[in-house]
């Protein structure tokens, strides 16, 4: 990806009107919309062919869910980032998408400029997050710390990460968090990003472990 070339973006949404509107907005903002898809399976196929920089992904999709599509795209295309653009109230799905490796999450009620900004940041590898997502992350880490069979093996948040996530979940912008904790904007970003990627790594490790165990079982039997 060179600097003068436009960012290559793909839009996945099962509602054609919405999908076209988002694609139009992104093209108007100077991005190259290199593909669109209306279901998860097609999204994986097309993404593999066109290798976009960013996939703007809805979560409620036919065939393969947005979470499943995210998982496969992230696994096969390490340079491609996924920005989830989804309706609010799909809490479990959003958390699963982050575990599957989505870089950012934006609600559909966000404005066009917020979307354009989020796509740009996602391409650069920066996390896009909402208070709702921060709440989900806090809940998930607490669940892992108390509910799991071997809590010490799961990922944990540092005190600073917890502090940052709590402020984000209470609606403070990254800028406000930075000011309150006397940190740089960049550091705040990194803390949230770490919290998200640790869950993804843990999830992927779990899947690998599961695959190995399942594979060993078949060999023995």
Cα–Cα distance for residue pair 142/28, rounded to 1 Å:
42
- Residue 116 near another protein by CB under 8 A: no
221 touches another protein (CB under 8 A) = no
Q: Tokens 């540092």 appear where?
A: 158
**Burial letters 194-203, b for 16+ CB under 10 A, else e:** bbbebbbebb
Residue placing its CB nearer to another protein in the complex, 74 or 199: 199
Cβ closest to another protein, residue 9 vs residue 133: 133
89 binds another protein per the rule CB under 8 A:
yes
Report the residue from 2, 146, 218, 221 that binds another protein according to the rule CB under 8 A. Answer: 146
- Look at residue 165 and give its three-state secondary structure: helix
Q: Is 6 in the site for another protein (CB under 8 A)?
A: no
| Measured distance CA(91)–CA(127) in Å, rounded | 18
Q: Rounded to 10 degrees, what is the CA torsion of 82, 30, 176, 165?
A: 0
Phi, psi angles (nearest 5°) of residue 115:
-65, -45
Task: Show the site string, 14-53: x = touches another protein by CB under 8 A, - = not.
Answer: xx-xx--x---x----------------------------
- SS3 (DSSP) at 38: coil
Specify whether the CB–CB gap between 166 and 136 falls below 8 A. no
Supply the DSSP symbol for 6: P
Query: Which range binds another protein by CB under 8 A, 34-42, 125-133, 200-208, 212-220?
Result: 125-133
Structure tokens at 95: 């958390």
Rounded distance between C-alpha atoms, residue 185 and residue 24, angstroms: 31
- The residue from 4, 78, 79, 111 that contacts another protein (CB under 8 A) is 111
162 or 194: CB nearest another protein: 162
Name which of 86 and 103 has its Cβ closer to another protein. Answer: 86
Output 46 or 144, the one with its CB closest to another protein. 144
* Site for another protein contains 66 (CB under 8 A): no
> Using CB under 8 A as the criterion, which residues of the chain lie in contact with another protein when the complex forms?
14-15, 17-18, 21, 25, 60, 87-89, 91-92, 95, 108-109, 111-112, 131-136, 138-140, 142-143, 146, 166, 169-171, 180
């Amino acid at each position: 990806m060179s600097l003068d070339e436009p960012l290559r973006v793909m839009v996945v949404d099962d509602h054609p009107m919405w999908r076209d509107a988002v694609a139009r907005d992104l093209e108007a903002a100077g991005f190259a919309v290199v593909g669109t898809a209306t279901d998860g399976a097609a999204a994986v196929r097309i993404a593999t062919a066109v290798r976009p920089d960013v996939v703007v992904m809805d979560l409620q999709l036919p065939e393969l869910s947005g979470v499943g599509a995210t998982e496969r795209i992230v696994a096969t295309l390490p340079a491609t980032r996924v920005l989830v653009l989804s309706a609010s109230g799909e809490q479990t799905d959003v958390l699963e998408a982050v575990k599957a490796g989505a870089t950012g999450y934006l609600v559909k009620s966000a404005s066009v400029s917020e979307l354009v900004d989020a796509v740009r940041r996602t391409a650069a590898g920066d996390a896009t997050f909402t208070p709702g997502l921060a709440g989900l992350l806090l809940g998930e880490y607490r669940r892992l710390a108390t509910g799991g069979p071997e809590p010490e093996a799961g990922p944990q948040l540092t005190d600073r990460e917890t502090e940052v996530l709590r402020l984000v979940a209470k609606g403070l912008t990254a800028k406000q968090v930075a000011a309150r904790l006397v940190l740089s904007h960049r550091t705040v970003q990194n803390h949230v990003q770490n919290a998200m990627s640790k869950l993804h790594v843990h999830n992927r490790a779990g899947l690998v472990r599961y695959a190995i165990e399942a594979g060993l079982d078949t060999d023995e039997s």
